[in-house]
Structure 1
Amino acid sequence: MSDTSHTLRIAQNPGADELLGRSPLAALVGMLLDQQIPMEWAFTGPYTLAERMGADDLDARRIAAYDPEAFVALFMEKPAMHRYPASMAGRVQQLCQYLVEMYDGDVVAVWEGASSGQDALRRLNDLPGFGKQKAQIFLALLGKRLGVRPEGWREAAGHYGDEGAYRSAADITGPESLSKVRDFKQEAKRAAKAAPPKKEAP
């Protein structure tokens, strides 16, 4: 992934998708931002951030060292980069500070150094702002769209690694698949609302 540009269609914006395909950090930041806003908005965020920083890519060291208040201002500049711009600016900066501290700012080292799919999942799960579900989705994205496939990656990604699934950003290849993923998410929300409340154990 560090040497080859891949084609992604998550943002549905040519410039943003081009950046996601060639920049591991952009893809990771897009995944981090993908909560409580539409996927296209989240994955356009890295492109918007790079533009506002006057760069054609994102750099973990530069973001980690950025003045926190000025960094929040980049997120809050209209149009805001997220529904919760100040909070997400902090999370992006924390992620980059972790990458600098643990991986010397080399984003691909997070997964290239993994011995297996489970190890890659653990490393992703350890990232600030990433829980198990987000880590599994990004692992599926790495395997399905970016050619990063440590042994056992599908199993480690759970149902997000299933072939032919339309569950997450990892399954988006264009407008049609985006619509299918959105339908799946909406159906999952409806099912969750309709499910009876779990009884507390005595």
Structure 2
Amino acid sequence: MSEPSFPVTGDDAADRLLLDDPLALLIGMLLDQQIPMEKAFRSPYDLAERMGGGPLDAAAIAGTDPEEMVRIFKGPPALHRFPKAFAERTQAVCAALVEQYDGRAEALWTEAADGPDLLRRLRALPGFGSDKAQIFVALLAKRLGVTPAGWEEAAGAFGDGRRLSVADVDSKEAFDRVRAWKKEQKAKAKAAAGTKA
């Protein structure tokens, strides 16, 4: 496989962290909700800076006083539109990683038996619903070359391109394409909701 590419944040250092630090990538996916995807995936870099500048550490995040973590998330600038809720969710994910995987985010996929097992492990994390877990399976495969047997089926429509997601971002053009597709889907959903009213 060629060198992994995930130009999603608009900042080379923040993009590099996502490829180098499995916990940063997982937290970025967690935060990718109700905010622009580039902001969600930039926030792990800012979180690392605010926690001393070293690599992100699941045990350190889980063990931080919850009020302090909320302050870290509030910034300014805030790491998420809902800093309190996502500070709590980030700590919950990190606590689960410490409890079940010795704090190693990558153990979610390096120790998974196959794609369905990887999906199950992700779905068990706080804040990872069906779509988010499937997108992350697709992201691991498409951006990092993590392709356990059955990953395509586990990723569902996000694996075969029927639904575009952050997993499909490998260039600025792809980023723009994914953003346009998401906007179109929102408009269709809004129109459908309007006809039902």
Q: TM-score category by the smaller chain?
A: over 0.9
Q: Could you say what the CA RMSD is over the residues aligned between the two structures, in angstroms?
A: 1.5
Unpaired stretches in structure 2, ≥5 consecutive residues = none
SS in 2 for 1:42: helix
Specify the alignment match of 1:160 in structure 2.
158
1:149 corresponds to 2:147 = yes
What is the identity, as a one-letter code, of the residue corresponding to 2:196?
A: P
Contact 1:25 1:60 in 2 (8 A): yes
Asked whether the 8 Å contact 2:139–2:167 carries over to 1, the reply is yes
Choose from 31, 34, 37 the match for 1:36: 34
What do residues 63-97 of structure 1 show as CA deviations (whole Å, max 9, x unaligned)?
Answer: 11111111111111111111111111111001000
Contact 2:4 2:19 in 1 (8 A): yes
| 1:172 matched residue in structure 2 | 169
Match of 1:182 in 2: 179
SS of match in other structure, 1:37: coil
- Counterpart of 1:56, as a letter, is G
**Residues paired across the two proteins, number:** 193
The superposition leaves residues 31-79 of structure 1 with CA deviations (integer Å, 9 ceiling, x where unpaired) of: 0000110000000000000000112321101111111111111111111
Per-residue displacement from partner, 1:77-120 (whole Å, max 9, x unpaired)? 11111111111111100100011011111111111121111111
Q: Secondary structure at the match of 1:78?
A: coil
- Structure 1 residue runs of 4+, over 4 Å off? none
Letter in 1 for 2:130: K
Q: 1:150 to 1:118 in 2, by over 3 A?
A: same
Identical counterparts, % of pairs = 53
Could you tell me which of 99, 102, 107 is aligned with 2:100? 102
Q: What is the CA–CA distance in structure 1 between the aligned matches of 2:78 and 2:143, rounded to whole Å?
A: 28
CA distance in 2, matches of 1:175, 1:28: 22
Question: Would the aligned equivalents of 2:157 and 2:163 in 1 still touch at CA under 8 Å?
Answer: no
**Structure-1-length-normalised TM-score:** 0.91
Identify which of 113, 116, 123 aligns with 2:114: 116
SS in 1 for 2:196: coil
Letter matched to residue 185 of structure 1: K
Q: Which of 127, 131, 134 is the matching residue for 1:133?
A: 131
Partner of 2:12: 14
Residue 86 of structure 2 aligns with which residue? 88
